[in-house]
Amino acid sequence: MIVTERQAKRSMWCPMARVRWMNVWQASNRSNPGRWNRVKNAVFRTFFPRIHWLARAKFFRCFGSGCMMWRWADRDAKTGFCGLAGNPLQNLFSD
């Protein structure tokens, strides 16, 4: 998906972000902390949105050109894409 850097930073999540819970042996990019922790997070996000952004949410967002995987669509473009999945501009059906 080709988007502007601003749009990517505001609305896209990073597939490389990992969540690690202290009592679980693996880290993943999805999280299921349990019902009580989800309620606490929702309350925290509602009443303290700026602190929530600084402490939690920003670490899962796209960093745009600050990321090693960000690729610009072309030299003069103001749009780009996450290079993790390959180049969406290439024709996948060509030989």
How many domains are there within the chain?
1
Q: Is residue 95 part of a domain?
A: no
In the DSSP assignment, the letter for residue 56 is T
* Residues 33-86 pLDDT 10s: 677 877 887 888 899 888 877 776 667 788 888 889 999 987 787 899 988 877
For residue 7, what pLDDT is reported? 92
Q: Is residue 38 part of a domain?
A: yes
Task: Please give the residue that has the higher pLDDT: either 62 or 32.
Answer: 62
Q: Is residue 36 part of a domain?
A: yes
Residue 73 is part of which domain span?
Answer: 3-85
Q: Is residue 91 part of a domain?
A: no
Q: How many C-beta atoms lie closer than 10 Å to residue 62's C-beta? A: 23
Q: Is residue 92 part of a domain?
A: no
